[in-house]
């Protein structure tokens, strides 16, 4: 993996989970990191300390809701005195759990609008807010800056926590391609589409016992027979942040242990 020495990275929704894991991976080779949280201040400050211990050159913590344009501008502005942003990871997201996609009464119009504001409009506004600094990084190095959208398998095959969530991620995947075309050659835009990620997202919604059952069911379903954790997905996010992916843009990559392949027939052991 290429070094992130002196690179500036903004990672939204980075108090815990995949955002925190990504921040730690970039920190390990000397990046400057902007962490962001909406409500989880204590967890984000703990992640900041962990990033410094891992080797980050500097870390700043910014509160903000990506569904609010002024907050997006505030998050981006935290990097202004560094003069550039080399990496933007749009990780912040939300959902409403309505797993029966045939239940037409499980969601209201307001649910769709809230999820779109955070999961789709938020990443757009973050790119817009950070664009001058992303362009500044390109002007200094002539290497394209990198935007990574954290999407989902839900946006590819229409599964997931709710119809609304899947719809927002499908829109994010389309936007990834539109922005990759529109912002080239100075800015690369790619999306990582995880399947199950073993984070507090599930424990907060369903509790430990149900989450343990979900975890074991995932292992039985996916061809690789694993339940991915944040670090497993963060490795791929870091690849898209790095110069190792310098000739890749407009890509939406499934990182789901083979979930999209469906059930498989395994050889006896």
* Cβ atoms 177, 250 nearer than 8 A: yes
* 164 belongs to a structural domain: yes
* 172 belongs to a structural domain: yes
* 56 belongs to a structural domain: yes
* 34 belongs to a structural domain: yes
* 264 belongs to a structural domain: no
Q: Is the pTM for the entire model greater than 0.85?
A: yes
Rounded distance between C-alpha atoms, residue 42 and residue 119, angstroms:
23
* 259 belongs to a structural domain: no
Along the 269 residues of the chain, how does pLDDT read in single tens digits?
Answer: 568 999 999 999 999 999 999 999 999 999 999 999 999 999 999 999 999 999 999 999 999 999 999 999 999 999 999 999 999 999 999 999 999 999 999 999 999 999 999 999 999 999 999 999 999 999 999 999 999 999 999 999 999 999 999 999 999 999 999 999 999 999 999 999 999 888 776 777 778 888 888 888 888 888 998 988 999 999 999 999 999 999 999 999 999 989 999 855 444 44
* 233 belongs to a structural domain: yes
Rounded distance between C-alpha atoms, residue 161 and residue 168, angstroms:
12
CB atoms within 10 A of CB 52: 14
Domain count, the chain: 1
Task: CATH number of the domain at 38, please.
Answer: 3.40.50.720
* Cβ atoms 92, 22 nearer than 8 A: no
* 212 belongs to a structural domain: no
Rounded distance between C-alpha atoms, residue 44 and residue 16, angstroms:
7
Catalytic residue among 37, 116, 138, 165: 165
Is 165 marked active-site? Answer: yes
Residue with tokens 């990191």: 33
Residues spanned by the domain of 156: 8-199+229-254
């Amino acid at each position: 993996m290429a070094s992130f020495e002196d690179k500036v990275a903004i990672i939204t929704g980075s108090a815990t989970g995949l955002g925190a894991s990504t921040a730690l991976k970039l920190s390990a080779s000397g990046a400057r990191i902007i962490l962001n949280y909406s409500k989880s201040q204590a967890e984000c400050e703990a992640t900041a300390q962990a990033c410094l211990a891992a080797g980050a050159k500097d870390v700043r913590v910014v509160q903000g809701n990506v569904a609010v344009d002024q907050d997006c501008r505030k998050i981006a502005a935290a990097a202004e005195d560094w003069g550039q942003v080399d990496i933007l990871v749009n990780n912040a997201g939300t959902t409403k759990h309505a797993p029966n996609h045939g239940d037409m009464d499980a969601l209201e119009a307001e649910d769709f609008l809230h999820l779109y504001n955070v999961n789709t409009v938020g990443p757009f506004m973050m790119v817009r807010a950070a664009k001058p600094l992303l362009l500044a990084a390109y002007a200094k190095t002539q290497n394209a800056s990198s935007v990574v959208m954290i999407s989902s398998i839900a946006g590819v095959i229409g599964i997931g926590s709710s119809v609304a969530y899947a719809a927002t991620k499908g829109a994010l995947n389309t936007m990834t391609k539109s922005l990759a075309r529109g912002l080239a050659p100075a800015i690369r835009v790619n999306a990582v589409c995880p399947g199950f990620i073993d984070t507090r997202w599930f424990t907060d919604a369903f509790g430990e016992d149900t989450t343990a059952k979900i975890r074991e069911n995932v292992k039985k379903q996916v061809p690789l027979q694993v339940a991915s954790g944040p670090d497993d997905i963060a490795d791929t996010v870091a690849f898209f942040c790095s110069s190792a992916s310098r000739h890749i843009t407009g890509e939406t990559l499934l990182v789901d242990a083979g979930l999209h392949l469906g059930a498989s027939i395994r050889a006896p052991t």
